[in-house]
Amino acid sequence: MSSPQADPYARAAAKFALSCKLASIEALIDWDAQTNMPKGGAWARGEQRGALAEVTSDLTGTPEIGALLDEAQGYADKLDEAERANLAEMRRLYAHRAAVPKELVVERARVSQQLQADWLEAKAKADFSLFAPGFKKLMAIHKEVAAAKGAALGLAPYDAMMDEQDPGLTCAIIDPIFEDLAADLPGLLAAVRERQAGWPAVIEFSGDFSVAKQKVLSERLAHIVGHSPETSRIDVAPHPFSMPHSPGDVRFTTRYSEDKFRYGVMATLHEAGHSMYELNLPRTHAFSPVGFARGASAHESQSLMLEMMAGRSKEFLRFLAPVLHEHLGGDAACWSATNVLNFVRRLDDDYIRVNADELSYPLHVILRYRLEKALLAGDLSVDDIPGAWNEMFGKLFGRVPPDHAKGCLQDIHWAAALFGYFPNYALGESLAAQLFERACADDPAILPALGRGDFKPYFAWVKPRIHDQASLKSFDEIVIGATGTKLSADALKRHLKRRYLDEALD
């Protein structure tokens, strides 16, 4: 390799660096679409997204790039470790992009842009028929994409869809974990319900739950976790998310309900967790594939560790209770640590995944996973989604959503062309439990510190093991490196039993 111009690795890496910057831009324009964009901008935003998809495909999905990557692979032993990992990521991304005709990717972006507008309206009106026509178009594209990727990657269609955001995860890995949870959780749920029936009633919360008050509370929570206005901001979006891929700007969104302040608190902790991962990714590898977070399940583990593991720990809730009182006012009695714990830990009868308690959450995901597999296999038609959803929901939870806004229209993912994405939420919860259990065992100071609102020991354990790793190692290597074992549902089951069957209210 006499010069960067002649060095196939460097030439390919430069193209992928550009594509990473375009991914960063795409994340920003998506953030804007969810937070700021006037409705009239939907068409133009679709064109913009299509353009980014087209340029990305031209940069990193062409036969020339494939040849460059093959050449680079030929002297991979001369690259350093990070370069080899980057090359592996580039080869994976290339395989995904080359497998699918560019026109199809552009079309998917366009259809999805319109479908997100349709979804907003369909959800507002609880009318699935406003969503179905666009989603049929999108499903036809998904089927084509999944078949093409499956053929190129030697994977089953649904596995190929998952591999893009969660490399290496397949149904063969997921199914035993999900079967384990599906077998265990309904019984556990019943036992916890019985136990909680003996708890005193939650004292109703009083205070000022205006959006203005909750906004200041959210900013306080973000600060407690470790965020600063220098590198983050909090806005409102119907479906909260954290903006990825933008070093130094890890803004996220939340939502506020004046009826249920818990939603805002939990969404803020959740997204603050995602954003801490993005904030801590190593700047040396910024804007290269190896510098990205290690897949969707790893990302979700970071949000759920904060929201569920740390955020619902007795230690943190004891710290949180007076903070809530300080910000929201009202009677001191309702803001006692015991009452807050009683409230946060209590199972409820919600229909919405993002509101779900720790025990129900995986079942919400398993439902979507099963429906998605059936949709992609052609065993379920789009028009039959509402019926299938309600039937499966009834079997898992013993009740049926009152309307489709609280049922199959609740999530933005299908509108946003995220398909094969849901499994990571339950895998992320399993990983969150596995990491948190090990973290607390490794450093007994973590839980007491959370009791003082101090997340430093927590992140001191997490950062080197997860955040600093970016995509330098595989998912399995990172999980084993941090916890000693591969991902399973064992820690989550232990955690749920310990927290929900053993822990006392005070």
CA angle 411, 412, 417 (to 5 degrees): 125
Catalytic residues: 271
Q: Two tokens at 133?
A: 């026509």
Report the Cα 447 to chain-centroid distance in Å: 24
**Letter for the amino acid at 265?**
V
Chain positions 54 to 83 lying near a copy of itself, rule: CB under 8 A, are: 54-55, 59
Task: Work out whether the CA dihedral 394, 177, 428, 378 comes out positive or negative.
Answer: negative
Q: Does the protein bind a copy of itself through residue 5 (CB under 8 A)? A: no
Q: Quick one: 105 or 344, whose CB is closer to a copy of itself?
A: 105
Q: How far is the CB of 286 from a copy of itself (least distance, A)?
A: 8
Check residue 232 for interaction with a copy of itself (CB under 8 A): yes
- Of 170 and 231, nearer to a copy of itself (C-beta) is 231
Query: Is residue 271 within the footprint of a copy of itself (CB under 8 A)?
Result: no
DSSP-H helix ranges across 211-294: 211-225, 261-280
SS3 for 449-492, per residue?
A: HHCCCCCHHHHHHHHHHHHCCCCCCCHHHHHHHHHCCCCCCHHH
DSSP 252: E
HSE, side-chain direction, 13 A CA sphere, residue 250: 19
- Secondary element (H or E) of residue 65: helix 63-74
Cα dist. 93→86, 167, 288 in Å? 10, 10, 12
Does residue number 50 form part of the binding site for a copy of itself (CB under 8 A)? yes
> What x/- string results for residues 272 through 291 when contact with a copy of itself is judged by CB under 8 A?
--------------xx----
Query: Does 374 participate in binding a copy of itself (rule CB under 8 A)?
Result: no
From 207, 226, 247, 282, residue interacting with a copy of itself (rule: CB under 8 A): 247
Report, in Å, the least distance between residue 24 CB and a copy of itself: 6
Interatomic CA distance for residues 404 and 281, integer angstroms:
39
Work out whether 251 is an interface residue with a copy of itself (CB under 8 A): yes
Report the nearest approach of a copy of itself to the CB of residue 44 (Å). 5
In the bound state with a copy of itself, the residue whose beta carbon lies nearer, of 28 and 156, is 28
Helix, strand, or coil here: 467? helix
CA atoms of 298 and 470, how far apart (whole Å): 10
DSSP 309: I
Interface region with a copy of itself, contact rule CB under 8 A, candidates 38-46, 78-86, 211-219, 344-352: 38-46
Phi, psi of 411 (to 5 degrees): -100, 150
Q: Minimum Å distance from CB 128 to a copy of itself?
A: 25
> What are 282's two structure tokens?
């190593």
**CB of 417 vs a copy of itself, minimal distance in Å:** 18
246 binds a copy of itself (CB under 8 A): yes
Q: Is 211 in the site for a copy of itself (CB under 8 A)?
A: no
Q: Is 35 exposed, middle or buried (0-12, 13-18, 19+ CB in 10 A)?
A: middle
Q: Does 24 bind a copy of itself (CB under 8 A)?
A: yes
Q: Which of 233, 262, 438, 493 forms a contact with a copy of itself (CB under 8 A)?
A: 233
How many residues bind to a copy of itself according to rule CB under 8 A?
38
Site for a copy of itself contains 124 (CB under 8 A)? no
The interface region with a copy of itself, picked from 18-26, 123-131, 395-403, 424-432 by CB under 8 A, is: 18-26
One of 10, 29, 171, 188 touching a copy of itself (CB under 8 A): 29
Q: What number of H helices and E strands is found in the chain?
A: 20, 2
The length of the chain, given as a count of residues: 506
> Which of 2, 3, 5, 39 contacts a copy of itself by CB under 8 A?
39
CB of 85 to a copy of itself, least distance (A): 21
Tokens of 39: 């409705």
Tell whether residue 18 is a contact of a copy of itself (CB under 8 A).
yes
Contact residues: a copy of itself, CB under 8 A: 18, 21-22, 24-25, 28-29, 32, 36-45, 47-48, 50-52, 54-55, 59, 229-233, 246-249, 251, 286-287
